[in-house]
Amino acid sequence: MKEPPKASWKPFTSNCCSVEDQTIFGNFSRCRTSRSEFSKNIAPLPSFRRLSFSDLSRSSSSRINEDLAQSFGPDLFDFQLSELRAITQNFSSNFLLGEGGFGTVHKGYIDDNLRSGLKAQAVAVKLLDIEGLQGHREWLAEVIFLGQLRHPNLVKLIGYCCEDEERLLVYEFMPRGSLENHLFKRLSVSLAWATRLKIAIGAAKGLAFLHGAENPVIYRDFKTSNILLDSDFTAKLSDFGLAKMGPEGSDTHVTTRVMGTYGYAAPEYVSTGHLTTKSDIYSFGVVLLELLTGRRATDKTRAKNEQNLVDWTRPYLTSSRRLRCIMDPRLAGQYSVKGAKEMALLALQCVSLNPKDRPKMPAIIETLESLQNLRDMAVSYGQWPAASPKLNKTALHHNNGKGRKENGNGIFFTKSALVVAQKTK
């Protein structure tokens, strides 16, 4: 994605955001420009006129469109529902990219025949399920955040649609889908170690950008399904419906509604509602563990002591010998021994129960980037295949009588591989 010109812009001021959960953004009036170095990757925007959740929730769609148009000008396209129906063949199932609690996402194609000035490109059209106020609130949060923020590691919002009761968003199309699909879909080709590291660095840079504002943006829902990949496996953060402006230092948000995804949410946020950028750091650590192990943050299909990834992996993260037992078997030993250990130690810091012990994003990026040129592959150092913590006689079983056996990770070994694995225990 082409980087926008350098500009000086202060995205938010302390008066622009209420910490009360019922008015997440408060008034967006009098947001003014500044000479912050943080703004070098953000496109310039005009000063906002009065724009708040409470106002827009009660406004007609025409008034909402008027307010958004005056706030964002030509930086975002205000699409008509008929136009989005046309480019997705009426939201045909043949164009369906995905579906979740937010609604459905369909692929489309835009060019200047649709609107003058539009770059010819594939797009993803998100059709939100807006049952109740929360759907509209998340749609508006997405427009406000991504309408302002521009960075190579954030998905670009191209436009929106607010027509009657319909709420839609139009993003750049990410051809390789989500990190979740690559890690956990059985039919997908396993991600190489270097690719996993590249994705981790890209996602870290996106999060660092959000945290680097004078009033940091707390992403609040960092997880593999929200990390999208372009054709070169560049990671871009998506779905800002739960994001919040946040104080820094010793101050925290206190929210009456804990939101996010179980398994990724920081324990102090779940138990107390206190929300800071360190909450995002915990979630980042969970994703690092998913990249290392190929396992989901939570998996109810596994043995009880293995269902929570953080709890299960914690005893294995400080030793290279023990770490190899939980590495993703799909890597087949094609990973850096030192790199995996350093990433594991970094993940352990990130998921520390004490938020103050978690590193900040610039330090995380520096650590991850230092691992890129390591070539000490485990398969070359006699450290693969490795024994799984579940690899024992009681955990093994035949698969359809074909002489293959399964370890605790659900990966099948041939008989000869089992012999080697058992000898390495």
Beta carbons of 244 and 183 less than 8 angstroms apart? no
Q: Is 417 helix (H, G, I), strand (E, B) or coil?
A: helix
Q: Is 160 helix (H, G, I), strand (E, B) or coil?
A: strand
Name the residue among 257, 244, 252, 246 with its Cα closest to residue 274.
252
Beta carbons of 355 and 266 less than 8 angstroms apart? yes
Q: Is 103 helix (H, G, I), strand (E, B) or coil?
A: strand
Phi, psi of 20 (to 5 degrees): -70, 135
Q: Is residue 232 annotated as part of the catalytic site, yes or no? A: no
Q: Which entry of 67, 221, 239, 280 is annotated as an active-site residue?
A: 221
Q: Residues 173, 11, 45, CA angle at the centre, nearest 5°? A: 70
Beta carbons of 242 and 141 less than 8 angstroms apart? yes
CA distance 376 to 69: 54
What angle do helix axes 337-350 and 277-293 make, rounded to 10 degrees?
150
Residues belonging to the active site:
221
